[in-house]
């Protein structure tokens, strides 16, 4: 059920607190920056907070995150939360609040000029949202500040108790090139200036082993690294505002794309709480050297423009909670880390860019936050692996190759969408009006639905995206895409569980073993033999890479799903209900069986006869699929990039 808020005016803050009692957060107290850290993160947007949230899980990694703002964000800039972003929030154990609080996007309407009376708009059609069914989550809309709060709460409650440092402006960031190839060195020196009143002008220096620039489109980290943004800043501006209003427009609580004859376009997106609506308003073209800042528009101009577009419907605006003007340009950083272009495998990158710092585009698609947050969800576990000595440093190269491809797709999609919705090619009122084909926009959204939902983002083949020749063993788990969750019943207690929700953001790998036709209790079955190999062979990656004295599942966590319906835990190999922790307690939550009528084997096209294993990375992407009788190939997969535990 959805929660309602903002009835008597927009109030930022924690939605678990009722409107009448909710207060904006006070600015947190200033604490000195640490002088030495493993990872320095600049910027507390979605990319920075996701990186910090991931690293906060590891007690042995020292992280610092700093921002020039005086405190947490209050008003949302980005508000759409894609299906994939919600899956990531589930990995951080906070998807429940997102699901409960967001506006769930179920329908879209398209409006265009009425051919009978072109000064009026009429509805073309209302359709179900193209993204429905791509994930167990529904595309949602919520104040970005609330998403930030869920991430910072998670950091504060983590084993490291990590908190952001505000009122810190980055003055300089230098890399000592003579130290970059020594993993234990601190080659990065960052100087911050305090911008709060009490500390104005004071400088602090932080030495870091790695740095991540998540400081937005005008990134200081990017400038300090001398990395170019490539692309164009188009001469097109859009206004955006969150408003409380009354109207006779019939689809005010449905996402709508409205195209007028003479006044441009508006996109409306209903917001959480039942009353607030976001409007994106197309503005006139900017002159060649003009910036949006030069055009002295106010929220009153945005409202007046929207009122013209909505004719004959009326918009009675009661409150503007937030508004801004965006320029639309599509740009991408030439490189996503500090290595010179064309560097070899052996060069260790030490500074990275993520989010708007390396890709900027228009706000219409709602995919800025939903590309930025997965950027660092990709980088976080890799950096942790390298810092903890689990993996070779070259694993860090895969961040740039995997995420730059996604950013390029984003830029291309945004350029196409911007062309489709740019109504008039010239600002001259007498020129021919370019007709926007609403059907083309709808077709585009449908075609791009998997990308916009984030569920079809696919990483190219590499040593951590491999095994394509075995794809047919589980056709519904696309190698390189995220593990597409489906339900199974837990053998120990019958609880129905989404298997994707077992892949938490704790830096661990998962092996999902899907049993074939033969009974796993039978010692001649492939499943039995594989489990025996995993638990006891010196070649087993679990044996090789689990530190002495650590729980058996601390690096590679194995789950099993079987078709047999009469299993009992104690008949299965002990590896599937291992003894853990200081008391050696048995973990009974690793074995599942398919559900009749909602069979995961059918839903994900898993080979019933042979079964298979699906290896899932710590960021929930499918790394490889292997037959159950290929233990050697499983070992080879991990041996490619993992480092033997210390003392081996």
Whole-angstrom Cα distance, residue 171 to residue 44? Answer: 17
Q: How far apart are CA 197 and CA 492, in angstroms?
A: 59
Residue percentage of the chain with pLDDT more than 70: 94
Report which of residues 27 and 186 the model is more confident about. 186
Confidence class of residue 523 from pLDDT cuts 50, 70 and 90? very high
Q: Does residue 431 or residue 239 have the better pLDDT?
A: 239
pLDDT digits 0-9 by tens, 197-214: 999 989 999 999 999 999
pLDDT score of 328: 66
C-alpha of 10 from chain center = 26
Q: Considering only residues 157 and 296, tell me which one the structure prediction assigns the higher pLDDT.
A: 157
**How do residues 375-400 score in pLDDT, each as one tens digit?**
999 999 999 999 999 999 999 999 99
- Nearest Cα to 576, choosing from 492, 477, 485, 484? 492
Note the pLDDT of residue 38. 98
How many CB atoms neighbour CB 282 within 10 A? 26
Kindly tell me if the per-residue pLDDT of 365 is higher than 80: no
Query: Strands of 121-128's sheet, edge to edge?
Result: 121-128, 107-113, 255-259, 265-270, 276-282, 229-247, 315-333, 359-360
Contact by Cβ (8 Å): 213, 190? no
> Which of 121-135, 415-429, 467-481, 496-510 comes out lowest in average pLDDT?
415-429
Cis preceding linkage at 464, omega within 30: no
Residue spans of beta strands (DSSP E) within 248-314? 255-259, 265-270, 276-282
SS3 string of 99-126? HHHCEECCEEEEEEECCCCCCCEEEEEE
Percent of the chain clearing pLDDT 90 (strictly above): 76
Annotated domain spans of the chain? 33-95+139-228+344-407, 468-639
CA angle 372, 34, 347 (to 5 degrees): 55
The reported pLDDT for the residue numbered 234 is 65
Q: pLDDT (tens digit, 9 = 90+) per residue, 3-41? A: 899 999 998 888 999 999 998 878 899 999 999 999 999
Q: Where are the beta strands (DSSP E) in 502-634?
A: 509-514, 556-562, 579-580, 585-586, 591-593, 612-616, 622-626
pLDDT at 53 over 80: yes
The DSSP bridge pattern shows strands 351-353 and 229-247 to be: unpaired
Mean pLDDT of the chain: 92
Tokens 């860090």 label which residue? 396
Q: Over range 496-522, report the average pLDDT.
A: 98
What confidence category does residue 422 fall into, taking pLDDT thresholds of 50, 70 and 90? low
Instruction: In whole angstroms, give the CA distance from residue 232 to residue 329.
Output: 6
Residue 545 has φ and ψ, to the nearest 5°, of -110, 0
What was the pLDDT predicted at 431?
Answer: 41
pLDDT score, position 352? 98
Cα separation, 267 vs 255, whole angstroms: 7
Read off the pLDDT of each residue in 516-544 and give the average, rounded to a whole number. Answer: 97
Mean pLDDT of all residues in 256-276: 93
Question: How large is the angle between the packed helices 397-421 and 369-387, nearest 10 degrees?
Answer: 180
**Do the bridges between strand 103-104 and strand 107-113 make them parallel or antiparallel, or are there none, so unpaired?**
unpaired
Average pLDDT over residues 279-288: 74
Residue 296: pLDDT over 80: no
CB distance 214 to 51 below 8 Å: yes
Please tell me the CATH code under which domain 468-639 is placed: 3.40.30.20
pTM of the shown model = 0.94
State the virtual CA torsion across 562, 563, 564, 565 in degrees, nearest 10. 100
Judged against a pLDDT cut of 80, whether residue 329 lies above it is answered with: no
Sign of CA dihedral 153, 159, 160, 161: positive
Torsion of CA 52, 55, 60, 62, to 10 degrees: -20
In terms of phi and psi (left: phi > 0; alpha: psi -120 to 50; beta: otherwise), the region of 605 is left
Task: Place 77 in a pLDDT band, splitting at 50, 70 and 90.
Answer: confident
- Do 381 and 507 meet the contact criterion of CB atoms below 8 Å apart? yes
CATH level 2 (architecture), domain 33-95+139-228+344-407: 3-Layer(bba) Sandwich (3.50)
Left, alpha or beta for 295 (phi > 0: left; psi -120 to 50: alpha)?
beta
- A 10 A CB-CB count for 295 gives 16
Torsion over CA of 357, 181, 509 and 626, rounded to 10 degrees? Answer: 100
- For 224-240, what is the mean pLDDT? 85
Answer yes or no: is pLDDT of 171 > 70: yes
pLDDT: which is higher, 628 or 327: 628
* Contacts of 151-155 spanning 24+ positions with Cβ under 8 A: 151/46, 151/49, 151/50, 151/52, 151/53, 151/92, 151/94, 152/44, 152/49, 152/53, 152/72, 153/94, 154/53, 154/56, 154/92, 154/93, 154/94, 155/49, 155/52, 155/53, 155/56
Q: Where are the beta strands (DSSP E) in 493-611?
A: 496-498, 509-514, 556-562, 579-580, 585-586, 591-593
Structure tokens at 35: 């002088």
638: Cβ contacts below 8 Å, ≥ 6 apart: 509, 541, 544, 545, 556
**Cβ pair 476, 612 in contact under 8 A:** no
Q: What are 355's two structure tokens? A: 């989010």
Angle between helices 369-387 and 83-91 (to 10 degrees): 30
Report how many helices (DSSP H) and strands (DSSP E) the chain contains, helices first. Answer: 14, 26
Residue whose token pair is 């062309």: 419
The DSSP bridge partners found for residue 435 are none
């Amino acid at each position: 059920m959805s929660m309602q808020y903002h009835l008597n005016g927009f109030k930022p803050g924690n939605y678990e607190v009722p409107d009448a009692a909710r207060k904006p957060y006070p600015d947190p107290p200033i604490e000195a920056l640490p002088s030495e850290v493993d990872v320095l993160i600049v910027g507390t947007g979605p990319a920075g907070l996701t990186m910090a949230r991931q690293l906060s899980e590891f007690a042995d990694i020292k992280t610092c995150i700093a921002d020039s703002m005086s405190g947490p964000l209050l008003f949302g800039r980005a508000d759409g939360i894609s299906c994939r972003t919600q899956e990531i929030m589930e990995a951080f154990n906070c998807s429940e609040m997102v699901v409960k609080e967001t506006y769930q996007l179920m329908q879209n309407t398209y409006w265009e000029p009425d051919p009978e009376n072109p000064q009026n708009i009429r509805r073309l059609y209302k359709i179900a949202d193209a993204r429905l069914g791509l994930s167990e989550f529904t595309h949602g809309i919520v104040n970005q500040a609330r998403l930030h709060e869920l991430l910072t709460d998670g950091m504060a409650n983590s084993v490291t108790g990590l908190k952001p440092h505000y009122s810190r402006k980055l003055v300089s960031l230098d890399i000592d090139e003579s130290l970059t190839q020594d993993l234990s060195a601190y080659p990065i020196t960052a100087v911050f200036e305090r911008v709060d009143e009490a500390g104005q002008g004071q400088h602090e220096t932080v030495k870091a082993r790695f740095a991540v620039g998540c400081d937005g489109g005008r990134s200081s980290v990017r400038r300090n690294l001398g990395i170019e943004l490539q692309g164009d800043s188009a001469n097109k501006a859009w206004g955006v505002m969150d408003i409380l209003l009354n109207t006779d427009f019939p689809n005010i609580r449905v996402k709508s794309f409205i195209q007028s004859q003479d006044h441009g376009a508006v996109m409306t997106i209903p917001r959480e709480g039942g009353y607030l609506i976001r409007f994106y308003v197309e503005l006139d073209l900017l002159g060649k050297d003009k910036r949006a800042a030069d055009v002295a528009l106010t929220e009153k101009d945005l409202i007046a423009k929207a009122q013209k577009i909505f004719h004959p419907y009326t918009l009675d605006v009661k409150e503007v909670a937030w508004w801004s003007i965006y320029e639309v340009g599509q740009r991408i950083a030439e490189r996503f880390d500090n290595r010179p272009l064309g560097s070899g495998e052996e060069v260790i990158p030490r500074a990275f860019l993520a989010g708007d710092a390396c890709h900027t585009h228009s706000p219409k698609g709602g995919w800025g936050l939903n590309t930025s947050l997965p950027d660092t969800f990709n980088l976080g576990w890799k950096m942790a692996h390298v810092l903890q000595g689990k993996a070779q440093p070259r694993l860090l190269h895969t961040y740039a190759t995997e995420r730059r491809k996604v950013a390029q797709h984003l830029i291309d999609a945004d350029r196409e969408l911007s062309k489709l919705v740019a109504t008039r090619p010239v600002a001259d009122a007498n020129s021919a009006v370019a007709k926007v084909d609403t059907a083309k926009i709808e077709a585009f959204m449908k075609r791009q639905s998997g990308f916009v939902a984030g569920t079809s983002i696919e990483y190219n083949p590499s040593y951590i995206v491999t095994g394509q020749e075995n794809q047919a063993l589980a056709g519904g788990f696309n190698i390189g895409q995220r593990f597409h969750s489906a339900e199974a019943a837990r053998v120990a207690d019958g609880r129905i569980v989404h298997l994707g929700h077992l892949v938490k953001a704790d830096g661990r790998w998962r092996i999902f073993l899907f049993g074939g036709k033969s009974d796993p209790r039978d010692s001649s079955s492939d499943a039995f033999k594989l489990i025996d190999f995993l638990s006891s062979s010196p070649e087993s990656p679990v044996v090789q890479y689990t530190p002495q004295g650590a729980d058996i599942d601390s690096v590679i966590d194995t789950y099993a799903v079987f078709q047999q319906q009469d299993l009992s835990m104690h008949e299965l190999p002990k590896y599937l209900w291992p003894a853990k922790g200081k008391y050696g307690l048995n973990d009974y939550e690793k074995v599942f069986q398919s559900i009749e009528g909602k069979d995961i084997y059918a839903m994900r096209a898993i080979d019933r006869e042979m079964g298979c294993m699906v290896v899932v990375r710590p960021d929930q992407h499918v790394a490889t699929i292997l037959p159950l009788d290929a233990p050697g190939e499983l070992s080879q997969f991990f041996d490619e990039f993992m480092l033997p535990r210390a003392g081996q």
